[in-house]
Amino acid sequence: MKIRLTLIAATLLLAQQAQAVSLPQAAALANGTSPASASQAFDALEAQSLQAEINALKGGAATLTRGQLDKASQNDTQSDKAWLKASGYDFQTKANQQAGIELLSGFSKLPDSTLQASLQTVTAINCDATQGVRHQALADAEGISYLYFLADAMGPRLGKAFLTAYDKGEIGKAAALIKASEVSTSAAKKHFNYSRPFLIKGNTIHLVPDDTVVKDNQPYTADGGSFPSGHTNTGYTDALLMAQMIPERYDSLVERGARYGYSRIVLGVHYPLDIMGSRMVTQRNVAHYLNDPRYVTLFNEAKDQLRAALEKECGTTLAECAKTVGHDDPYRSPDMKQFYRFTMSYGLAKQQGASQPLSVPAGAEVLLQSALPHLSAEKRRQLMVKTALPAGYPLSGNTPEQAFWQRLDLPAAYALGKSERTH
């Protein structure tokens, strides 16, 4: 009977994940994780996070001006840069940047029909966005140098504890390591040299005025190439590493990375393809670091400090503090897994051609290790294959690595692994 229930649960989960989410449905889910949500507790956490971000951007100044944004970075209280520097760890940035360019080489072979569909999708999301979603997008954009955006994916209770611990300097090692682990997309942007959507001739993108962070109503814009997205690379990296450190909120944090990428489309400064590409390289980069013993030593030290600080601020165990809080915890809604699935393709059409069996790169299963520690490496690899996006969507390319990193659905793999254990 137990085996039968396990199979039934797994089948239902896979069937649910296969259901397509439409563009309007995805927009509604995004709205539910913005300051326009139906939960007063969640909205209060969003407001607290935004105010903390504004205070950090201002520094010691009385007011926030646009010129301060370019100089923004975690201060010495928030981030223990001295600890990280003393470690002497080499992040191998250039090598990882080159690996990212190779991973995304399929972009150059995409047909014009896919590029046009990508432009149509960003236009639809941008023009139809609610005010709450636009406010969230602005907060996400201007807070790129900080970790504040992660709080709402932790739930009202743990989220507040996180904001307190962060600004008190109690999680300085995690703050330093996570931000240093972001592999810049600048080399890839120069390589692919693709124009942003709001610069395409005849576009109908609505540039969003900043009435949220600087509050000067200046339309938000961005410089440099569009593919892949640098902000999304930051958001996914931060969210995925934090998910490894707080596996009690694993799925919510990974989904926050996808929601952060969605914000870039809302602002009209990136295409879906840019977001999809950044997700691919981020997953690859984080797995690369987590398979390096020297990095893991730093990671564990930072993780231990983070978890101890959060328990102190919560006044209880992390497991208790991280518990789901009903409608006040929208990132714990099962629908967010379908939102994540949507952001893996944004509804773009599959490409023609025969598909190859999915091959899991060596070490990729480390991305599920902290979340599913009871499972063997082989079992985690099997989960990745079982829950993968179907073959053929844009950027899945011609190599096993390109196909895997494009098709990897971490929240679905986690949910199936958790379901099989429960039943």
Can you give the pTM of this predicted structure? 0.94
Count of domains in the chain? 1
CATH number of the domain within which 351 lies:
1.20.144.10
Kindly state whether residue 185 falls inside one of the protein's structural domains: yes
For the stretch 2-21, pLDDT in tens is 444 344 444 444 444 445 78
* Three-state SS at 228: coil
Kindly state whether residue 398 falls inside one of the protein's structural domains: yes
Kindly state whether residue 229 falls inside one of the protein's structural domains: yes
The CA distance from 357 to 298, in Å, is 36
Kindly state whether residue 6 falls inside one of the protein's structural domains: no
Kindly state whether residue 296 falls inside one of the protein's structural domains: yes
The CA distance from 329 to 151, in Å, is 11
Sign, CA dihedral 174-43-26-122, equals negative
Backbone region of residue 393 per phi and psi (left: phi > 0; alpha: psi in -120 to 50; beta: other values): beta
Residues 257-277: what's their mean pLDDT? 98
Kindly state whether residue 396 falls inside one of the protein's structural domains: yes
For the stretch 120-133, pLDDT in tens is 999 999 999 999 99
Amino acid 10: pLDDT? 45
- The answer to whether the CB of 340 falls within 8 A of the CB of 279 is no
Q: Is the peptide bond before 247 cis (omega within 30 degrees of 0)?
A: no
Residue type, 252: S
Kindly state whether residue 423 falls inside one of the protein's structural domains: no
pLDDT reading at 354 higher than 70: no
Residues 39-43: what's their mean pLDDT? 94
Kindly state whether residue 422 falls inside one of the protein's structural domains: no
pLDDT over 90 for what percent of the chain?
89
For the stretch 186-201, pLDDT in tens is 999 999 999 999 999 9
Q: What is the DSSP string of 231-247?
A: HHHHHHHHHHHHHHH-G
Amino acid 401: pLDDT? 97
Range of the domain at 97: 22-376+389-408
For the stretch 49-98, pLDDT in tens is 999 999 999 998 999 999 899 889 999 999 999 999 999 999 999 999 99
- The answer to whether the CB of 189 falls within 8 A of the CB of 224 is yes
Mean pLDDT of the chain: 93
